[in-house]
Amino acid sequence: MKRYLLSVVLGLSTIGILCTYYLYGAVDHLPEFKLITVQGDAQEGTGIELNGHYSGRMRSESLTVSKDGSKYRSRETLRDEMLSAYSWIYFGDMAQWIQDHRQFMRGKDQLEGFYKDEEWLIYVTGSTQVGLSVERLNLKTNEESEYTTKIPVQMERGFYNVVDVQKIKDKLHVITLQDTKATQSQQPTLQYFHNVLNFDDGTLIQSEQITHWKNTKKNIETDYYTMYNAGAPNNYLAFTVTENKISDKKENSYNSERIATHIYVYSYQTGKLIALPDPKQQFNPRTNYYHEGDQILYTTYDNQTVQLSRYHLATGLEERDYATLKTSQFGADEVQSVFISGNRAYVSLMNGTSPKVVALDTADGSVRYVGEVSFEGPDSERAKEMKLLQLYNLNINEWVS
Amino acid sequence: MNRYLKLVNMEIHRFRYILFSLMGITLLLQCGSLIWTLQRVVSAKEKGLTQAEVGFAIPKFLSFPWAIVNTKEWFILPILLSITVLVLYSIIIWYRDWFGRSTFIYRLLMLPSARWVLYVSKLTAILTFVFSMIAFQLVLLVGENMLFKTIVPAGMRTDSTFVEASTINPVLNTLLPKQFEQFIYSYGLGIIGVIVIFTAVLLERSYRRLGILYAIGYVVVCAAAILLPAILPALESSSSYWYPGEIYRIELAICLIVPVISCCLGFWLLRKKITV
């Protein structure tokens, strides 16, 4: 037995030390925070996450706080890292579709290429070489089918991307962004095209250029975007056109400032592109636009106030500041950020060192939820720990794996 | 079972001097650098010297994690040395039986027990060396923390948690993950690595010159099989055909299949192909 002493001591002490470490020593003693419901339906707080840092350690700790508690980045394992891959793709509508139609959704990641109504889930992708590839899932029969339609393009190897898909009666409408050829008066530019396909067999009925954007102002750069309007049926496609004044453009430096935003709306029914009236108020670079059904919502905010406004696309009328939120209503000092998701406007507020979240119903601006970040520990340490917590990013977590 | 324990004991006994030397080097370098750094800063603080006068940073309060950050290189160096020695020894543990005195492998292969016991005992020995070095580092950190408290007067220091100190250094953080699940992943991959190396060595011993090619090919195939699911998201420009949860399960399955195949192949080579 004596000659085995070294192996026995080595083996037993190693097991003992490692077990002790993982039973007692490996606890990081980081403070726990939680988003608690102060007012409204607690269910509204599901998925709300506040991201930031806790700076009470030598190295700042990245964390996320939700109604389930706090998740520190340093506690993540290889499994967490692998399961959160593509988390920026697999959330919102996509998360729901993946849960409902897992097989059909495989490898499909272009959110703008989806359309869903009660009968169909459709996915369209495109390239100049192949044309438009349409994959369809009949939700009633669960049958999948697909076809490809060649589309006329001006540049054989140019840029080509699907930005919106709608099914109206027996036609499939696909808006694409593609390269156009240079003309005498204009450089080659990216323009939007409206393609109409027979939904049953994919025959091309019409392909028409719907925008003719061109940049004519000196020292002004213009960017064009389409607003994502979810996969639900919609009669309109909205465009954001932003003008940025270039203040510095050299070989190694570039500075610009947004000076104006214009909204254009394309109607699938009439085939017309119209400009919405610009807000008469002074341009606010912190204005965010969202397309929801037949209205465009926009939020403006300063340190103390958040305003919700909207355009009714059917009439083109603007309903400005139909809902207003003031920080004083919630005993807060400052508005940090605002964003809209799924019929709710989420506002992140700061009350001293305590972050708060308010969820407003975008239909009428009524308050549906108020939550506050609380420290889950002794009251004597609350003030100190809250001071060390900086939460600056608000989002809704709906991802699936 | 008895034969297996005897073989494990023999392997541990053969490596004991190197193992204790590695522990000694780690102790000397880490404690030495810690004492030197702390004494220098404490002395400067006692004399009221400024950062500009001494040429190094003097924090308002000293903490154990601060001390580890400021002696980073001397903590990392012995750990890297130990890792290198243990990786090399997982190859040498086989070759020393062939090329050592009086070709010891003759006697080992002639033992009246299954030859796979030889494979498993060598694997157990390597794992014992690895985990004893980890356990030693843990004990050393506790000792170093006590050393820190002895050198730095109470008025000059702030308290910190043990994990804060062990995670502040990237190498220590990798060696001592604070989640047990991560410990299983990290050391599980390490164990798979050792098993693959063992099988590669046995391929070379079985087929000699051609065996070198087989061994290299085998290691490359195993590494590719294990790494592919993990790097798949980076290889593809956007979303993958597989969902993240499925990629994770594929990775787990591969991490089970590779060591099982490697062990089976190793046992078969030992039983049927090894010649001395």
* Residue B147 shares a structural domain with residue B40: yes
pLDDT of amino acid A338: 92
Count CB atoms within 10 A of the CB of residue B39.
Answer: 12
With bands split at pLDDT 50, 70 and 90, how would you rate the model's confidence at B64?
A: very high
Selected residues 105-124 of chain A with any CB under 8 Å from a CB in chain B: 106-110
Query: Is it the case that residue B128 has pLDDT exceeding 90?
Result: yes
Q: How far is B174 from chain A (nearest CA, A)?
A: 11
pLDDT of amino acid A221: 84
B16 vs A contacts (CB less than 8 Å): 6
Tokens 């341009």 sit on residue: A283
pLDDT of amino acid B92: 95
With bands split at pLDDT 50, 70 and 90, how would you rate the model's confidence at B193?
A: very high
Test A89 with B178 for CB contact under 8 angstroms.
no
Out of B176, B194, B211, a domain closes at B176
Test A89 with B244 for CB contact under 8 angstroms.
no
pLDDT of amino acid A279: 62
**pLDDT, average across residues A13-30:** 90
Query: Is it the case that residue B238 has pLDDT exceeding 60?
Result: no
Q: Which two tokens stand for residue B71?
A: 């002696």
* Residue B37 shares a structural domain with residue B60: yes
Test A14 with B131 for CB contact under 8 angstroms.
yes
Query: Is it the case that residue B203 has pLDDT exceeding 70?
Result: yes
B66 vs A contacts (CB less than 8 Å): 58
Of A4, A17, A106, the CB nearest to B135: A17
* Residue B246 shares a structural domain with residue B272: yes
Average pLDDT over all residues of chain B: 91
CA distances from B22 to A16, A81, B12, B79, B137 (A): 21, 34, 14, 9, 11
Q: How far is A18 from chain B (nearest CA, A)?
A: 6
- Min mean pLDDT across A214-218, A274-278, B73-77, B120-124 is at A214-218
* Residue B172 shares a structural domain with residue B71: yes
CA distances from A131 to A225, B226, B256 (A): 22, 38, 44
* Residue B168 shares a structural domain with residue B231: no
Phi then psi dihedrals of residue A26, to 5 deg: -85, 5
A283 lies within 8 A of chain B by CB:
no
Name the DSSP class of A283: P
With bands split at pLDDT 50, 70 and 90, how would you rate the model's confidence at A110?
A: confident
* Residue B165 shares a structural domain with residue B205: no
Test A28 with B163 for CB contact under 8 angstroms.
yes
Q: What is the interface pTM, i.e. ipTM, of the complex?
A: 0.90
Of A21, A77, A107, the CB nearest to B239: A107
% of residues, chain A, pLDDT over 90: 56
Q: Which two tokens stand for residue B264?
A: 């089976």
* Residue B157 shares a structural domain with residue B134: yes
Query: Is it the case that residue B244 has pLDDT exceeding 90?
Result: no
Q: Which of B216, B235, B220, B201 is nearest to B123 (CA)?
A: B201
Name the DSSP class of A90: S
pLDDT of amino acid A157: 80
The winner for highest mean pLDDT among A20-29, A59-68, B111-120, B234-243 is A59-68
pLDDT of amino acid A185: 63
% of residues, chain B, pLDDT over 70: 96
Of B180, B242, B251, the CB nearest to A22: B180
Tokens 């305590």 sit on residue: A354
Q: How far is A77 from chain B (nearest CA, A)?
A: 5
A86 vs B contacts (CB less than 8 Å): 233, 239-240, 244
pLDDT of amino acid A280: 57
User: Which one is predicted more confidently, B148 or A95?
Assistant: B148
pLDDT of amino acid A281: 60
* Residue B268 shares a structural domain with residue B192: yes
Test A106 with B241 for CB contact under 8 angstroms.
yes
What are A221-247's pLDDT values in tens digits? 888 888 887 778 899 999 998 888 888
**pLDDT, average across residues B29-51:** 91
pLDDT of amino acid A362: 93
Count up the domains in chain B and report the number: 2
Q: Which domain holds residue B197?
A: 178-276
pTM: 0.86
Out of B132, B160, B176, a domain closes at B176
Average pLDDT over all residues of chain A: 89
**pLDDT, average across residues A339-349:** 90
pLDDT of amino acid A247: 81
**pLDDT, average across residues B65-72:** 91
Q: How far is B204 from chain A (nearest CA, A)?
A: 30
What are B85-108's pLDDT values in tens digits? 999 999 999 999 888 776 788 888
Out of B141, B176, B211, a domain closes at B176
Residue pair A370/A358 in contact by the 8 Å Cβ criterion: yes
A84 lies within 8 A of chain B by CB:
yes
Separation of alpha carbons B195 and B189, rounded Å: 10
Separation of alpha carbons A335 and B105, rounded Å: 75
A79 vs B contacts (CB less than 8 Å): 181, 185, 248
Cβ neighbourhood burial of B241 (10 Å; 0-12, 13-18, 19+): exposed
Query: Is it the case that residue B240 has pLDDT exceeding 90?
Result: no
pLDDT of amino acid A153: 83
* Residue B221 shares a structural domain with residue B153: no
pLDDT of amino acid A229: 77
**pLDDT, average across residues A182-205:** 85
**pLDDT, average across residues A291-308:** 91
B251 vs A contacts (CB less than 8 Å): 82
Phi then psi dihedrals of residue A178, to 5 deg: -145, 160
Test A28 with B161 for CB contact under 8 angstroms.
yes
* Residue B92 shares a structural domain with residue B62: yes
* Residue B14 shares a structural domain with residue B132: yes
pLDDT of amino acid A184: 63
The winner for highest mean pLDDT among A253-267, A277-291, B22-36, B86-100 is B22-36
B189 vs A contacts (CB less than 8 Å): none
pLDDT of amino acid A104: 95
Test A4 with B5 for CB contact under 8 angstroms.
yes
Tokens 């002004």 sit on residue: A220
pLDDT of amino acid B239: 60
* Residue B34 shares a structural domain with residue B118: yes
Residue pair B120/B4 in contact by the 8 Å Cβ criterion: yes
B13 vs A contacts (CB less than 8 Å): 6-7
With bands split at pLDDT 50, 70 and 90, how would you rate the model's confidence at A2?
A: confident
Which chain A residue has the Cα nearest residue B16?
A6
With bands split at pLDDT 50, 70 and 90, how would you rate the model's confidence at A58?
A: confident
Q: How far is B32 from chain A (nearest CA, A)?
A: 23
- When computed from its CA atoms, the radius of gyration of chain A, rounded to whole angstroms, is 26
With bands split at pLDDT 50, 70 and 90, how would you rate the model's confidence at A400?
A: low
Test A85 with B181 for CB contact under 8 angstroms.
no
Test B9 with A7 for CB contact under 8 angstroms.
yes
The winner for highest mean pLDDT among A107-116, B72-81, B102-111 is B72-81
pLDDT of amino acid A193: 94
Tokens 């495109």 sit on residue: A126
Query: Is it the case that residue A399 has pLDDT exceeding 60?
Result: no
Test B239 with A108 for CB contact under 8 angstroms.
yes
